[in-house]
Amino acid sequence: MNSIIEKAKSLHQLSKNEIILLLENNSINDNLFKAADEIREKHVGAKIHLRALIEFSNICKRNCKYCGIRIQNKNTKRFRLSPNEILNLSERAVQKGFKTIVLQSAEDDYYNIDILGEILRKIKKNDIAITLSIGERKFEEYKMLKESGADRFLLRIETTDKELYKKLHPGMSYENREDCLKNLKNLGYETGTGCLVGLPGQTTESLANDILFFKELNADMVGIGPLIPHKDTPLKNTPANGFLLSLKVMAITRLLMPDINIPATTAMETLQKNGRIIALQSGANVVMPNINDNELKTKYDIYPGKAYVDYSELEKELKLIGRTISKDKGFRVK
Ligand code: SAM
């Protein structure tokens, strides 16, 4: 087992079977996390990149079976920020010294290319990187958003198990999601993807395929999060036990993709006390503090109990583990 970890550390390559062995064997976990931490230190260093997350709409046309803001959840209080409200929050991020803003929303067609383009151009008057996470759009739309100033895009593949993907995403197509990711890459976006861990019926083989997919796509960022069941979704009875496995998927991803950006995801912190710091010591190098007002934070209810970042606490915690906050935009350095 340890020779597989050594191989991953030196070659950054593993076969599907080797990944499965690592995922299934829990006696090597400490060594795995230590190896991922060493590779993170060697390739991307001790700095943590902070991304200011602005969630600007929870009005969704999709019906993903795990997600609290799916169209069929009638209990969610819907909100949609105006362009001015988004610009005010972006200004807040700039004032606080963030070097990246992440604009995330449900799949809400109200924000057409004209509206989004205008917002991007205005934000871009500041010296700040912009990440979009707004779901699936056409190639031409991604192109125009890039031309308007978007630098990066986050679109998780969620799972590479096509049957499972189909079951969880009614009316959506795996092939289209994959095409979107390829289009984003081809358009020159720093492209982020990732998966959910702990989905019903998900196997270690399918998680190994997810990791190999990230590598094949040459993703620039990979966000991995445990599923957190939401009471108003069809997955409400799924056990919330994906923390350890998601940490392992993340650590193996770091070993195979040493120079990418990997967030300590909010879902990890939500499911496990101190989960953010544990993730930062197991391969992660990015944190995405939500800068919305409290009322909106609770309305963007994709899963219950979402954890938030307390900035001064975070600074203290990072100091304790020998890490500091980066002052640059944190692009992938190849
Ligand atoms: N609409 C955009 C998209 O499809 O990429 C971005 C918003 S979507 C709500 C952001 C992410 O939330 C998804 O990629 C999914 O992995 C995650 N998510 C949704 N429901 C979740 C749940 N119950 N537990 C954990 N993560 C969840």
Q: Could you report the per-residue pLDDT of 57-105, keeping only the tens digit for each?
A: 999 999 999 999 999 999 999 999 999 999 999 999 999 999 999 999 9
**Distance between CA 292 and CA 246 in Å, rounded?**
26
Tell whether ligand 1 has an atom less than 6 A from the beta carbon of residue 300.
Answer: no
Q: CB neighbours (10 Å) of residue 163?
A: 11
Residues 6+ apart with CB under 8 A from 232: 68, 73, 75, 76
The residue type of 298 is T
The residue type of 247 is L
Here the tokens at position 7 are 């191989």
In contact, 286 and 309? CB cutoff 8 Å: no
Tell me the β-bridge partners of 48: 325
Tell whether ligand 1 has an atom less than 6 A from the beta carbon of residue 263.
Answer: no
Place of tokens 């796509």: 217
Tell whether ligand 1 has an atom less than 6 A from the beta carbon of residue 196.
Answer: yes
Which of 3-7, 255-259, 292-296, 299-303 has the least mean pLDDT? 292-296
Atom of ligand 1 nearest to the CA of 230: 23
Q: Residue 195 phi/psi, 5° resolution?
A: -145, 165
pLDDT value for 312: 87
Structure-model confidence comparison of residues 227 and 299, the more confident one = 227
Q: Taking the model in full, what pTM does it have?
A: 0.98
For the segment 265-274, the average pLDDT, to the nearest whole number, is 96
Give per-residue pLDDT as tens, 303-323: 999 999 988 899 999 999 999
Give per-residue pLDDT as tens, 201-257: 999 999 999 999 999 999 999 999 999 999 999 999 999 999 999 999 999 999 999
Mean pLDDT estimate for the chain:
97
Tell whether ligand 1 has an atom less than 6 A from the beta carbon of residue 245.
Answer: no
Closest CA to 190 of 124, 132, 240: 132
Q: Exposed (0-12), middle (13-18) or buried (19+): which is 284, by Cβ within 10 Å?
A: buried
Here the tokens at position 254 are 């770091």
Between the CA of 106 and the centroid of ligand 1 the distance, in Å, is 9
Work out the pLDDT band at 178, boundaries 50, 70, 90: very high
Tell whether ligand 1 has an atom less than 6 A from the beta carbon of residue 227.
Answer: yes
Between the CA of 6 and the centroid of ligand 1 the distance, in Å, is 33
**Distance between CA 325 and CA 163 in Å, rounded?**
41
Q: Exposed (0-12), middle (13-18) or buried (19+): which is 167, by Cβ within 10 Å?
A: middle
**Distance between CA 125 and CA 94 in Å, rounded?**
11
Name all domains of the chain by residue range, CATH numbers in brackets: 28-319 (3.20.20.70)
Between the CA of 250 and the centroid of ligand 1 the distance, in Å, is 17
In contact, 54 and 75? CB cutoff 8 Å: no
Between the CA of 320 and the centroid of ligand 1 the distance, in Å, is 31
Tell whether ligand 1 has an atom less than 6 A from the beta carbon of residue 302.
Answer: yes
DSSP secondary structure string for all residues of 29-87: HHHHHHHHHHHHHHHH-SEEEE-EEEEEE---S---TT-TT-TT-TTSPP-B--HHHHH
Residues 6+ apart with CB under 8 A from 21: 1, 4
Helix axes of 243-256 and 204-217: crossing angle, nearest 10 degrees: 30
Q: What angle do CA 273, 46, 227 make, to 5 degrees?
A: 35
Here the tokens at position 89 are 């929050």
pLDDT value for 296: 86
Tell whether ligand 1 has an atom less than 6 A from the beta carbon of residue 224.
Answer: no
- With the most atoms of ligand 1 within 8 angstroms of its CB, the residue from 102, 152, 196 to mutate is 196
Q: Residue 55 phi/psi, 5° resolution?
A: -95, 115
Atom of ligand 1 nearest to the CA of 233: 23
Tell whether ligand 1 has an atom less than 6 A from the beta carbon of residue 155.
Answer: yes
Tell whether ligand 1 has an atom less than 6 A from the beta carbon of residue 153.
Answer: no
Per-residue pLDDT for 294 more than 90? no
